[in-house]
Amino acid sequence: MDSLITAAAQALAAGDPLGALKRVALRDDAPALALRGIAMAQLGEFARAKELLRRAACAFSPKESVARARCVVAEAEIALASRDLGWPAKALSAARATLEAHGDRVNAAHARYLEVRRLVLIGRLDEAERTLVDFDYTPLPPALRTSYELMVAGIAIRRLQTKAARTALARAERAARQANIPALTAEVENASNVLNTPAARLIARGDERPLLLAEVEALLASNALVVDACRNVLRDKHMVVSLVTRPVLFALARALGEAWPGDVPRDQLLTRAFGARFVDESHRMRLRVEVGRLRKMLRPLADVSATKRGFILVPQHEREVVVLRH
């Protein structure tokens, strides 16, 4: 590898895409095309980056399988950065296998990281966590290790595991300092701010206040019955009843939760659930039907009892009812 290619690669590793381009911008050999593609990706020019990487992969000879695999990994990273989740995951897996077979532990680990990151982006958190169990991230350089720890923290935040998230973010901060890339340091700071800013609001006995993520975690582990308007479910620490596909039922449950320990007049429930401005007997009949359905679905957690003027939520085991909302 010549000195210009080496210098361009070092510039990219240091987060200096313009410095890399200065060295290889006028070259069209395969290594230069690959480096130009990565530089353009760092500058946010994803379409141009993909074009250059594909040209690079074609320019490498069939015997240069490792170089071709690295191009696939780079293209996969660009796809993830641009939220293009339609690229073939099998190609990345095959590239990782090639890199592992040729002893390129750094790029193989990078490919594995991208596989896990894709699983996170498409919402397959369980599979992502299983993949992380045997993932050896030690070959990753500081910049990629920072990204890895940010991903681990992101999973922990989605799981409402704030202690694990803080631990991963502390590791990310150390790796970012080693990488000495300002953009990465800023990304870690932004991720840390998620734990220190209100994540939701709590409505309890008529009062409303903001909650940090750690307070949300503590609330969901408590004995309270939570009407979770962030996810359209009702839950306690043992059970979740989803009303995601039943918006009318959830609107009724939320209205009852916000009024607890009081009841809600029938006319207010009709307005909240059906948007009814003029109430007639057909609306009242429909309300009785929907309340019956809600009562059946909530039976393990609470009852919905009729009062003189409307309905009231009666939780099992005499516990608090709260509403969690954005």
User: Are residue 69 and residue 138 in the same domain, yes or no?
Assistant: yes
Q: What is the per-residue pLDDT for 134?
A: 84
Q: What is the CATH number of the domain that holds 7?
A: 1.25.40.10
Q: What is the DSSP string of 193-209?
A: HHHHS--EEEEETTEEE
Q: What is the per-residue pLDDT for 284?
A: 87
User: Are residue 129 and residue 55 in the same domain, yes or no?
Assistant: yes
User: Are residue 226 and residue 241 in the same domain, yes or no?
Assistant: yes
User: What is each CA distance from 323 to 6, 60, 68, 116, 171, in whole angstroms?
Assistant: 58, 59, 53, 34, 34
Of 128, 163, 196, the last residue of a domain is 196
| Selection from 284, 287, 207 nearest residue 252 by Cα | 287
Q: Which two tokens stand for residue 11?
A: 């510039």
User: Are residue 208 and residue 229 in the same domain, yes or no?
Assistant: yes
User: Are residue 39 and residue 183 in the same domain, yes or no?
Assistant: yes
Q: What is the per-residue pLDDT for 1?
A: 55
Of 196, 217, 232, the last residue of a domain is 196
Q: What is the per-residue pLDDT for 274?
A: 86
Report, as ranges of residue numbers, the positions in the chain whose pLDDT lies below 50. Answer: none
Of 174, 196, 218, the last residue of a domain is 196
Per residue in 173-210, pLDDT (tens digit) is 999 999 998 889 999 999 999 999 999 999 999 999 99
Question: What are the start-end ranges of the E strands in 153-298?
Answer: 200-204, 207-211, 225-228, 233-235, 240-242, 264-265
User: Are residue 192 and residue 217 in the same domain, yes or no?
Assistant: no
Q: What is the per-residue pLDDT for 172?
A: 97
3-class SS of residue 192:
helix
Domain boundaries, position 64:
3-196
Q: Which two tokens stand for residue 107?
A: 């790029």
Q: What is the per-residue pLDDT for 84?
A: 87
Q: How far apart are CA 52 and CA 40, in angstroms?
A: 9
The number of domains in the chain is 2
